[in-house]
Amino acid sequence: MLPTVTILRHAEKELGGGPPLGTDRAGRRGPGSRTVRGWTRAGARVELLWPRPGNSNAAVAATPSHLFAARVGETTSQSRRPRETLEPLSEHLRTPIDDRFLKSEID
């Protein structure tokens, strides 16, 4: 059986510094973080990819065995959204997020 690759786009960001604003996990304003809508969508993705115990309906899409997100750079991309988008799924699956690579290191 061939492996399945599912690609998720990171969740919403703030637009132009005005509302809606990006917030970090603790609720503090965080440039490079997701908006409230982005946090909500990331949580909803768990339902698509996580087979709930005791539910005869398995996950809608293939449940991932690996999670990858671009790492936040010190001098390059400051976006935390790729990792933040996967955090709810990572917690439910108990699967770590591999963020070894910067966005600029990925073709």
How does pLDDT run along the chain (107 residues), one tens digit per residue? 677 777 777 767 777 767 777 877 777 777 677 787 888 888 777 877 776 666 555 556 777 888 988 888 776 677 788 888 888 889 988 999 999 988 777 76
> What's the pLDDT score for residue 98?
93
Per-residue confidence (pLDDT) for residue 58, from 0 to 100 = 59
State the pLDDT at residue 96: 95
Tell me the residue type at 18: G
How far from each other are the two terminal CA atoms of the chain, in whole angstroms?
26
Beta bridge partners of 71: 102
64, 59, 91, 4 alpha-carbon torsion, rounded to 10° = 10
Q: Phi, psi (5° rounding) for residue 25? A: -60, -30
Q: Quick one: which of 5, 31, 10 has its CA closest to 83?
A: 10
